[in-house]
Amino acid sequence: MSRRRSWAEPWKIKVVEPIRMTTRAEREAAVREAGYNTFLLRSEECYIDLLTDSGTSAMSDQQWAGMMLGDEAYAGSSNFYALQEAVRKYYGYEHLIPTHQGRGAENILSQVLIDEGDFVPGNMYFTTTRLHQELAGGTFRDVIIDEGHDPSSEHPFKGNVDLAKLRELVEEVGAERVPYITVGVTVNLAGGQPVSMANLREVAEYCREQGILVILDATRAVENAYFVQQREDGYSDKSVARILREICDLSDGATMSGKKDSLVNIGGWLGVRDPRIAEQARNLVVVYEGLHTYGGMAGRDMEAMARGIAESVQDDHIRARVGQVEYLGGKLIEAGVPVVRPIGGHAVFLDAAAMLPHLAREVFPAQALASALYVESGIRSMERGAVSAGRDPVSGENRYPKLELVRLTIPRRVYTQAHMDVTAESVLEVLDQRERVRGLEFAYEPEYLRFFQARFDTVGGDGIFA
Ligand SMILES: *Cc1c(COP(=O)(O)O)cnc(C)c1O
């Protein structure tokens, strides 16, 4: 292993899907039609689609073979038992509640554990996670270390929980008002940054003392395990699969979006150890998702996920996956583009505030940059800044997080090194014309998770480039 420097993919390509380059005029029309929101573009209007790594991965031949073994019985599908076995083996949770995707698990967990007036700490918010906590009557409190909010800090574990911030909250409101902490491994909105095993151990110990549950957002826990193997003392000769178990063993449960680490197009789950929580969750899953042995997934989806989990923890796979992300990030850093450092597990995050200093936060520089990159190159990215952060539920004011980012998210096993090269070149082309990029203002603002469906107008003239 030590002599092997390459992150070359441990697979070869068997099936291809054509993609098409559009003209600049087509893209200008398309982005205007989409209200300058990349979520509202059609997929066929995109050349390289880096909107998200969610549900966009390529399945293996083994997973596709598993699709033919779908047992579509309403109750007790054999694929459910295969999934349960995979989750028990690799994540270690005794009780599995399947859901249609991650937010289904977040909804159920929030309803089971949160009472009106409770506080739920977390290492930086995630959009759907925080909204479900708020809808259940809870208040989210950010307890990530300060470095997590600093795009230039090279801290190797920028996702870590700040124990002092956690203690302060518990002392302020009382442990009985804090049912659980959500620990994201890795932290998506901090730039795909990992949590160290040492930090997780401290969090688990403190929370056990206080009677607070530790719930992982395990969406990218395999990527977190890989960073632990690469960066933390004492882990370099442990397998990613073994480290993953060690991470999960420190927690009481997890919500999971199978659409990320687990290499499937749809699916998720809630995993817990406490049989009483499992029972309450099963009572709710039948209301919101489906019977407790399918939770909104077809049998074939559960089989693909069971197989995907086993593939996702292979050291070769995860080294190639993160290696590709680091390759793109390295190219941009070399060219002097301001990006969140160190490069995270699933995406390269452009620091839009630094790239477009002529645009005030109120005209959403990251939203504008995503539109400009699309018009320039056909590459689709996503805003992760003030638009994603939404409004404060009490004051109604816009929330302005420290980070104003554009995310170039890499689907697993989909694009090649040449696509990464084109992506880096395209970002540089936008950088060359940065002063011409116009700001945006809301034309339509939805009440919940506004970034998905919002529409914008350009400020000071027509078109994203002046
Ligand atoms: C995607 C995601 C979720 C939500 O999962 P869905 O499957 O999209 O519902 C939760 N947490 C994190 C960190 C995610 O990236």
Give the mutation target among 188, 195, 215, 257 for probing the ligand 1 site: most ligand atoms within 8 A of CB: 257
CATH number of 24-46+315-458: 3.90.1150.10
Of all protein residues, whose CA lies closest to atom 13 belonging to ligand 1? 188
206 CA distance to ligand 1 middle (Å): 26
**For 329-375, how does the pLDDT look when each residue is reduced to its tens digit (9 = 90+)?**
999 999 999 999 999 999 999 999 999 999 999 999 999 999 999 99
Q: What is the pLDDT of residue 5?
A: 66
Please list the active-site residues.
Answer: 74, 126-127, 217, 260, 384, 451
Q: How far is the CA of 219 from the centre of ligand 1 (A)?
A: 6
pLDDT of residue 4: 61
Counting from 1 in the atom list of ligand 1, the atom nearest the Cα of 189 is 13
Q: Which of 363, 371, 364, 358 minimizes the C-alpha distance to 385?
A: 364
Centroid of ligand 1 to alpha carbon of 223 (angstroms): 14
Predicted local confidence at residue 151, as pLDDT: 87
Rounded to whole angstroms, the Cα distance separating 314 from 10 reads 10
- Closest residue to atom 5 of ligand 1, CA basis: 102
Q: Which pLDDT score, from 0 to 100, does residue 188 have?
A: 93
Q: Is the CA virtual torsion 103, 106, 108, 111 positive or negative? A: negative
Once rounded to an integer, what is the mean pLDDT over residues 118-143? 96
Indicate the DSSP class of residue 23.
P
Pairing of strands 180-184, 440-444: unpaired
Per cent of the chain over pLDDT 70 is: 99
Q: What per-residue confidence (pLDDT) applies to 3?
A: 62
Is 217 touching ligand 1 by the criterion CB < 6 Å?
A: yes
- For the stretch 227-253, pLDDT in tens is 999 999 999 999 999 999 999 999 999
Collect all residues with Cβ–Cβ distance below 8 Å to 79 and sequence separation of at least 6: 69, 70, 71, 299, 300, 301, 302, 303, 306
* Ligand 1 contacts CB of residue 188 (under 6 A): yes
Yes or no: say if 396 and 459 are a contact pair by the CB < 8 Å rule. no
The strand pair at 213-217 and 440-444 is best described as unpaired
* Domain 61-312 bears CATH identifier 3.30.70.1230: no
Q: Which residues of 81-96 are buried (b: 16+ CB within 10 A; e: fewer)?
A: ebbbebbeebbbbebb
Residue 422 reports pLDDT greater than 90: yes
Chain segment 381-407, per-residue pLDDT in tens: 999 999 999 999 889 999 999 989 999
User: pLDDT tens for residues 155-207?
Assistant: 999 999 999 999 999 999 999 999 999 999 999 999 999 999 999 999 999 99
pTM, rounded to two decimals: 0.95
State the span(s) of the chain assigned CATH 3.90.1150.10: 24-46+315-458
301-338 pLDDT, tens digit per residue, is 999 999 999 999 999 999 999 999 999 999 999 999 99
Where along the chain do the CATH 3.40.640.10 domains lie?
61-312
35-80 residue pLDDT tens:
999 999 999 999 999 999 999 999 999 999 999 999 999 999 999 9
Between CA 322 and CA 291 the distance in angstroms is 36
Q: Coil, strand, or helix at residue 430?
A: helix
Q: What percent of the chain has pLDDT over 90?
A: 96
